[in-house]
Structure 1
Amino acid sequence: MLLIYTQKVTPRITYVFKHICTHILEIPIKFTSKIEEFIAHEGAKLSYGKQALGQEFFIQKVELLMEQGFSELEIKVQPWEETICFFPVAESSDLPFDIFAASFYLLSRYEEYLPHVKDGGGRFPASESLGIQESFLHKPVVDIWALKFRDVLRERFPKLKKSSRKYKVGTIITVEHTFIYKNKGVLRSFIGFNLDVLKLNFTKAADRLKVWTRMKKDPHDVFEMLIELIKQHKLYMLFMFQLSDFSIHDRNISHNRIPHRAIIKSVADYAQVGLLMGYYSMEDIKMLRKEKLRMEEIVHSSLENSMNSKYDQRLPDHFNNLIELEILNDYSMGYQDVIGFRAGTCTPFLFYDINMEVTTPLKLHPYGFNSEVLKNTSKTKVKEDLHRIISEVKEVKGVLKAVFKNQDFSVYGDHQTYYSLLKDLNEIA
């Protein structure tokens, strides 16, 4: 057990110390604001304040974890051994920076609460992030800092428990369009067929006819192939299905269609399933509740996993809607167009609501790769960047999650490239 002294135990201090010490390093901790108790303690102990009390392990604090709300901060990133750090402190500190304040800044997504230039979809873009601007987005710096902190701490207190973390890989398959031709309805199918003919795309027109007459499987129905990979190689996959009403933004088939429901049920026999939120449910909790109930009615169990289909966090409202509906896990923490770690970590973490200054029960599962990057980046560059973050996550024995779409593996797409990336991630020969 590590005893931590701080003059005042704030919600921010509790949150970030528990994440680094307990969740990442698996070291049990206890807080105290009583100097007598701290001095009398004979085991591992750490003080977090302006100056050391004695010969204990000492980390000098900056004021971020003592504050409430958010304000503009001056951040100077500087090198620290083979990595970087910010919020530097005096030499009397056992670490050259306030690891807990820096980690809180990244995990809480502090910068996303501040004024920033949004992208065309009204989202916080990667270009506005400190990680991109200071070239460390590809590194899970919070995990790197935590392990370096552990090493220094164990030099002082060798009896501290060793972490049992292991490198893991998880794949998320988003399903906005379960089928491309099947069950689209007479009018949509008729219009689509005529457009194919007008564009002289006779291959697709012929495929439509074959799917309608059940001579051919729908090209987007790749679920049996993916399930076969799961069974052969014991892969972890999470399938996110969209069940929203049809609109200009959400164009999947109806949730009532029997083939659609059958796909979800069959996938749920071999992998976890979750809800890919529709465009309007990201803002409207009534719509989100409707989609949640639809999924629960199909799979006959409580919905635990969700993902934002447009990768728009809308802090903190989006996450608070999930909390209100008792959804436990969200998988939206990442950038769809850049490889790297939006929150500076590859370890799942609890969402901290800066507006309310509370640690919430919602667990955020960050991803480091999204297949969308191939739209604007060469295959060679994507492969290089992917292998770089694989190496980074292995180094900290973290969890690397990657996002693909079911149509990535369709014969209409560059399915060989996507299968190759999927195999690289899971180290399948």
Structure 2
Amino acid sequence: MILIYTHKVTPRVRYIFKHIFTRILQIPIDFTGKVEEFVAYNGSKFSYTNVALGKEFFVKSNELLFQQGIKDFEINVQKWEDTPCFFLTNEQSEVPFDIFAASFYLISRYEEYLPHIKDAHGRFSATESIAFKNNFLEKPLVDIWAYKFLKTLKAKFPNFESPTRKYQYISTIDVDNAFAYKHKSFARTIGGFLKDISQFKIFTVWDRFAVLTNIKKDPFDTFKTIIEYKKTHKVRTIFFFLIGDYTTFDTNVSASKTKFKLLIKDMVDYARVGLHPSYYTMNNGVLLKKEKERLESIINMPIKRSRQHFLRVSLPETYQKLIDLEIEEDYSMGYASHTGFRASTCTPFYFYDLDFEIQTPLKIFPFALIDSTLNDYMKLTAKQSLGKIRDLKNEVKSVNGVFITVFHNESLSNYQRWKGWKRVYNSMLKIVK
């Protein structure tokens, strides 16, 4: 155990120290505000305060963890050896910056509470983040800091021993469109035919006809393949089903369709299933509740995990609504336009609500990449995509974190814009394991 002296144990202090020591480094810690108790303790210890008590291991604290509410800090990124850092300290401090305040700033998504320009879908843009602006978006910086800090700590306490956590991988599948052509309403089917004809998409017209007359299998029906890969590679897999009502941005099969219900029930037998809340649930708790209850009625069990469609998250409102509905895990922490680590960590963490200054029970699982980011935004080839996946996996593996990827059932179809992507998914599972 490590004993930490600090002049004030705030909720922020407890939260970020627990994340770094307990979740990343797996080291038990305790706090004291009593100098006598700290001095008398014979084990590994350090002080986190304004001025060192003596010649102990000392980290000079920034004011962030002792404040409440939001303040606009000037972030000046420097280097700790070859690693970016900010909230610099003085020479007395064992590390050149306040690792705990900087980690809290990144993980709490502090910058998303500050005034910023939103994208076309009302989301915080990757390009607005300090991680993007300072070229560390593709590094789990908080985890890297934690291990560098541990190395410094062990240099001070040579006999200190710490466990090593294990690298993990989670494959998540978003089901935005369970079927390309089948089980759609009559109006949508006719509309699809007319649209394809008007755009002279002759091959698509034929495909649509062939699927509807059972000559061909629906290209997006790749669920058996995904389950086979899951079994072969022994990967943890989670399906997120979009079951909201039809809108411009929510175009899945109607949740009232028997075939769709049977598909969802079938997936529950093989993998975990979560909710993919529709586009307009970001600030609509009533709609979110309706969709959660709809999915629960299909699978006859409580829904505990979710990922927002289009990754539409508004902090803290969206997460507060998920908590109200007793959702325990959220998988929305990432960007649609860029690969990397939105919260600069590859370790699942509990959402800290800056409105109420509390650690909430909602556990956030940050992902590193989405298939559509690689294919649609970055315009990478299949080979280039595998290279990017390998690079991100290596970043996570170097800190024994949790590597999470987002694919869609349709990307395994090898159909139209997804040609060659079935192999990408299969090859990825070999790389990440």
Same fold, TM exceeding 0.5?
A: yes
Per mean C-alpha deviation after superposition, the further-off stretch among 196-205 and 311-320 is 196-205
Deviates more, 1:68-77 or 1:376-385: 376-385
Name stretches of at least 5 consecutive residues in structure 2 with no aligned partner.
Answer: none
CA distance in 2, matches of 1:250, 1:77: 40
- Deviation, structure 1 residue 424: 4.3
Q: Structure 1 pair 423/154, CA: closer, same or farther in 2 (3 Å)?
A: farther
Deviates more, 1:255-264 or 1:164-173: 164-173
What residue in structure 1 maps to residue 220 of structure 2? 220
The offset of 1:159, in angstroms, is 4.6
2 CA distance for matches of 1:346 and 1:112? 19
Aligned to 2:397: 394
Structure 1 SS opposite 2:327: coil
1:231-281 Cα deviation digits (max 9, x unpaired): 111122211101111223312121121110111111121111100011222
Q: Is the 8 A contact 2:99 2:145 kept in 1?
A: yes
Counterpart residue number, 1:408: 411
Aligned 8 A contact 1:336 1:371 in 2: no
* Residue identity in the other structure for 2:314: R
User: 1: distance between equivalents of 2:209 and 2:261?
Assistant: 23
Give the Cα separation in 1 of the matches to 2:178 and 2:347. Answer: 30
- Give 1:377's aligned residue: 378
Please list, as runs of the form range in 1=range in 2, the aligned pairs for 1:208-247 lying within 5 A after superposition.
208-247=208-247
If the length of structure 1 is used for normalisation, what is the TM-score? 0.96
Partner of 1:131: 131
2:12 aligned residue: 12
> Mean Cα displacement is larger for which, 120-129 or 187-196?
187-196
The CA deviation string for residues 359-407 of structure 1, in whole angstroms up to 9 with x for no partner, is: 1010110011112222132325544433322221111111111111221
**Is 407-416 or 298-307 further displaced after alignment?**
407-416
Return the alpha-carbon distance in structure 2 between the equivalents of residues 97 and 284 of structure 1.
40
Deviation at 1:340, TM superposition (A): 0.8
Q: How many residues align?
A: 429
1:246, 1:376 → 2: CA distance? 25
Compare 99-108 and 213-222 and name the one that shifted more. 213-222
Q: Indicate the residue corresponding to 2:347 in structure 1.
A: 347
Summarize the alignment of residues 136-151 of structure 1 with structure 2, pairs less than 5 Å apart: 136-151=136-151
Contact 1:170 / 1:402 at 8 angstroms: preserved in 2? yes
Quote how far apart the aligned CAs of 1:158 are. Answer: 4.1
Q: How much has 1:416 moved relative to structure 2? A: 4.9
Q: Structure 1 residue 332: deviation in Å?
A: 0.5
Distance 1:416 1:232, change over 3 A: farther
Task: After TM superposition, give the deviation of residue 194 of structure 1 in Å.
Answer: 2.5
Residues 172 and 238 of structure 1 are in contact (CA less than 8 Å); yes or no, is this contact kept in structure 2? yes
Secondary structure of the 1:427 match is helix
CA drift at 1:102: 0.4
SS in 2 for 1:142: helix
- CA 1:420–1:58: 2 relative to 1, 3 Å: farther
Report the more deviating stretch, 355-364 or 197-206: 197-206
Moved more, 414-423 or 292-301: 414-423
Q: How many angstroms apart in 1 are the aligned matches of 2:59 and 2:237?
A: 40
CA distance in 2, matches of 1:199, 1:271: 39
8 Å CA contact 1:176, 1:241 repeated in 2: yes
For residue 311 of structure 2, give the secondary structure of its aligned residue in structure 1.
Answer: coil
Q: Which amino acid aligns with 1:7?
A: H
In 2: Cα distance, 1:304 partner to 1:207 partner:
37
Task: For residues 112-159 of structure 1, give each alpha carbon's deviation from its aligned partner in whole angstroms, at most 9, with x where no partner exists.
Answer: 111111111121101100011001111100000001111121233345
- Check conservation: 1:277, 1:309, Cα contact below 8 A: yes
- Residue 267 of structure 1 is matched in structure 2 by 267
The residue that corresponds to 1:312 in the other structure is: 312
Letter of the aligned partner of 1:400 in structure 2?
F
- Aligned match of 1:421: 424
Report if the CA contact (8 A) 1:278-1:309 is conserved.
yes
Cα RMSD (Å): 1.6
Provide the rounded CA distance (Å) in 1 between the counterparts of 2:56 and 2:261. 60
Q: Assess, with a 3 A threshold, how the Cα gap between structure 1 residues 217 and 179 changes in structure 2: closer, same or farther.
A: same
The answer to whether the 8 A contact 1:26-1:161 is kept is: no
Contact 1:289-1:325 at 8 Å conserved across structures: yes
Instruction: Give the secondary-structure state (helix, strand or coil) at the position aligned to 1:313.
Output: coil
| Secondary structure, counterpart of 1:340 in structure 2 | coil
Between 1:71-80 and 1:410-419, the stretch displaced more is 410-419
Shift in Å at residue 198 of structure 1?
3.1
Contact 2:241 2:274 in 1 (8 A): yes
Partner of 1:90: 90
Distance across 2 between alignment mates of 1:313 and 1:22: 27
Check whether the contact 2:306–2:331 (CA below 8 A) recurs between aligned residues: yes
CA distance in 1, matches of 2:379, 2:287: 38
Q: Distance in 1 between matches of 2:414 and 2:6?
A: 59
Work out whether residues 413 and 421 of structure 2, in 8 Å CA contact, stay in contact via their aligned partners in 1.
no
Return the letter of the residue paired with 1:371: D
CA contact (8 A) 1:27 1:161 kept: no
Distance 2:159 2:237 in 1: 37
Once the two structures are superposed, the pairs formed by residues 251-290 of structure 1 within 5 Å of their partners are: 251-290=251-290
Are the counterparts in 1 of residues 140 and 396 from structure 2 also a CA contact under 8 Å?
yes
- Structure 1 Cα separation of the partners of residues 313 and 198 of structure 2: 40
Query: What per-residue deviation string (whole Å, max 9, x for no partner) do you get for residues 152-204 of structure 1?
Result: 21233345442331222222111111111111111211121222233332322
Amino acid at match of 1:354: L
Kindly state the Cα deviation for residue 414 of structure 1 after the two structures are TM-superposed: 4.3
Rounded to whole Å, the distance in 1 between the matches of 2:427 and 2:415 is 22
The corresponding residue for 1:362 is 362
Question: What secondary structure is seen at the aligned counterpart in 2 of 1:173?
Answer: strand
Q: What per-residue deviation string (whole Å, max 9, x for no partner) do you get for residues 216-236 of structure 1? A: 221111111111101111122
Letter in 2 for 1:378: K
Secondary structure at the aligned position of 2:310 is classed as coil
CA contact (8 A) 1:169 1:426 kept: no
- The match for 1:114 is 114
1:42 is matched with which residue?
Answer: 42
Shift of 1:30: 0.9
